[in-house]
Structures are given as C-alpha cells and as structure tokens.
Amino acid sequence: MLCRLGGRGLRQLSALQLGAWGPQRAPTPAGGTKRSALPLRAVGSVSAVSPGGAGGWYEALATSAPVRGAEELLLGAHTATGLPWWGSILLTTLALRGSVTLPLAAYQHYILAKVENLQPEIKNIARHLNQEVAVRANQLGWSKRVARLTYLKNMRRLVSELYVRDNCHPFKATVLVWIQLPMWIFMSVALRNFSTGAAHAQAGFSVQEQLATGGVLWFPDLTALDSTWILPVSLGVINLLIVEIFALQKIGMSRFQTYMTYFLRAVSVLMIPVAATVPSSIVLYWLCSSFMGLSQNLLLRSPRFRQLCRIPLTKGDSDTPYKDLFAAFYSKFISRK
C-alpha cells in the first residue's frame, strides 16, 4: 500500500538534511587582524544583517526569533562549558540530536512498525472488498470506472478506520521531518550570522573574532572555508552511508523508493561542493549532525533499543541486524562479481 511505500522515504528524508548558504565573509583589515563586520557598539542585537546585501526572505529569516534562539543556545553552551567554539558546536549538536530528534525518530519507527503490521489485514480487506465490488458491479451494471472509484473510496475509508483504531496514521511519522529540518536550518543560519559578522560580543570580542580562533586541527579558523575539503568530503561520505543503509534495508524496492534513493545519492554528492563554499563552522555542524543521524539510525536497528522504546516487532525485524547489514554491504560493494 502507499502508506507502506512512503514509510521508507520518510525515514530517508529525515536522516539526510539539505540546504545551502554561500559565504559572504567580512574583509580582513590590513595588518591581518580579523574584525567584526559590524561595530561592537551594536552588541544589543544578536542576529546579523542579511549577508551580501541579500534582502527579503533571507533577512527576515536571519533576524527571526527562532534564529535568535539558536544563537542564544550556542552562546549559552559556549559560556557555560568554557569549551572552544568547535567543542561548543559539537556539544550543542549532540544535545539537540539526543534530546529532540532521537525520541522523535523512535516515535517514527514506532508508527511505521504499527503501519507495517497492519499490511496483512489491509491486503485481506482489499481482497474481500474487490470481490464485493465485482459482485455489485455485475448486479447493477456498473462500468469499470464506476467500480474502480467505488473500490478506492471504500478502501480509503476502511484503511483510515484501521489507522484510527490502532492510532498509527502514517502522517504522524512525518513529525520528525517537520521539527528536525527547521531546527537544522535555524542552527545553520545562526552559525552563518556569527561567521559573517554577527554583532554579538563577549569579553570585548565579537563572536566572529572568537570563531576565527575557535577551530582545531586543519580548520583553526571557523569563519573560513575548508581549503582541504576534508570536512565537505566527510559530510558527503557520511550522508551516502546513511542513504546506502536504507537502500540495503530491504530487497525489492518499489519504483518510488528506487527513484528516491538515486535522488538522495545525488544530493549527498552535491552537498560536497556546497559545503566547500560555506564557513567551516557551518560544515562542522552539518558533519556532526549527519554523524549523529548515522549513529541514531544504527542505534534504532538494535533489538534491545527497539524493545526499550516499545517499538512493535515486525516481520522484517532481525535478531542480528548489524551482522545482516554488514553482509549486505559486503555483498553489494565488495564481493560483486
């Protein structure tokens, strides 16, 4: 049924996040000292003005209440922990993923498992309804079009009644997407505001100046692009791993699932050059978020964790999910003949 076909796509969309903001870095003054693009006297405002002169919708987004909230969250984590900015970004991502998206992902799996367990009953109803409609069509002389419309109308009603009975309408599985995607966007815009000259200051230094020395390893300047492309490529690899895990989850995907898999593979690859055009602070957040998404998806395969979350058992569940996943991955990508 369509509800079952869509469940896989929902999980894929929730695991992979999309978006792009090109960099508009503030110029570096002569002498090499990095300075905020806005004067420090404007410390009362947290959000940056629209970068690069972009107006309209982006300026409204960059100065919106959710973005200001994301900025305050990042600043609060940085102040409370005393960590360098790379550590604050990582810690904030872990906290958001663990406290918000993980419970919602478990709820999504709970709903989709209940929907999957309804499929035998739905197929049985469809078979009996088809027979009843065929009998009525012969008795009343219905055309094929009328018979089909009658079948579809009654089938939708009966399936909806099943969803109400078991409290598992597939739309409830989309809650994760509607919360995770906006949260990802707001955090990305907040970091972009900071990296391109946000007017917030701490201890006499703008956040942009703090980010300029708040990196680590090969990306010491979080306001600069990653010239090594290590962060962007790592992001693309992790996103591809997420897509392939879902692709290996079941055999015999529908046409829609196949097209969706190819689409998400393409997006994962395209995110590499996109990530190479934004400040490292944003790419670091994207990378941490994707890594947590990968870990979250693997955790939700664990039979013990699923039992802890009271996710119903389904016909496709395995007692050795990680062994099965490795075997499928090895068979598809390593031992291909």
273-315 pLDDT, tens digit per residue, is 999 999 999 999 999 999 999 999 899 989 999 999 999 988 8
Task: Please tell me the predicted confidence (pLDDT) of residue 1.
Answer: 40
Give the residue ranges of the chain where pLDDT is below 50: 1-54, 203-204
Question: By the 8 A CB rule, do 293 and 268 touch?
Answer: no
Question: By the 8 A CB rule, do 269 and 171 touch?
Answer: no
> Is the full-model pTM beyond 0.85?
no
Task: Please tell me the predicted confidence (pLDDT) of residue 29.
Answer: 41
Task: Please tell me the predicted confidence (pLDDT) of residue 61.
Answer: 85
Distance CA 261, CA 244 (A): 8
> What is the biggest distance separating any 2 CA atoms in the chain, rounded to whole angstroms?
91
Task: Please tell me the predicted confidence (pLDDT) of residue 118.
Answer: 92
* Residue 216 bridge partners (DSSP): 219
Encode burial over 17-35: b for 16+ CB neighbours within 10 A, e otherwise. beeebebbbbeeeeeeebb
Task: Please tell me the predicted confidence (pLDDT) of residue 28.
Answer: 41
Question: Torsion angle, CA of 237/243/245/250, rounded to 10 degrees?
Answer: -160
Distance CA 158, CA 152 (A): 10
pLDDT, one tens digit per residue, over 37-80 is: 333 323 333 343 444 444 588 888 888 889 999 999 998 898 89
Tell me the CA distances in angstroms from 166 to 115, 144, 153, 295, one per residue in order: 9, 33, 21, 30
Task: Please tell me the predicted confidence (pLDDT) of residue 141.
Answer: 87
Distance CA 329, CA 79 (A): 43
**Both tokens of residue 223?**
């306001």
Task: Please tell me the predicted confidence (pLDDT) of residue 317.
Answer: 81
Task: Please tell me the predicted confidence (pLDDT) of residue 36.
Answer: 37
- Of the chain, the percentage scoring pLDDT greater than 70 comes to 79
Question: By the 8 A CB rule, do 236 and 226 touch?
Answer: no
Burial, 125: exposed, middle or buried (Cβ in 10 Å; 0-12, 13-18, 19+)? middle
Query: Which residues have CB under 8 Å from 50's CB, separation 6+?
Result: 58, 59, 62
Locate the domains of the chain by residue range: 66-113+171-198+205-334
Task: Please tell me the predicted confidence (pLDDT) of residue 233.
Answer: 94
Distance CA 211, CA 62 (A): 18
Task: Please tell me the predicted confidence (pLDDT) of residue 26.
Answer: 42
Output the CA angle 276-277-282, nearest 5 degrees: 80
Per-state percent for the chain, helix, strand, coil, to nearest 5: 70, 0, 30
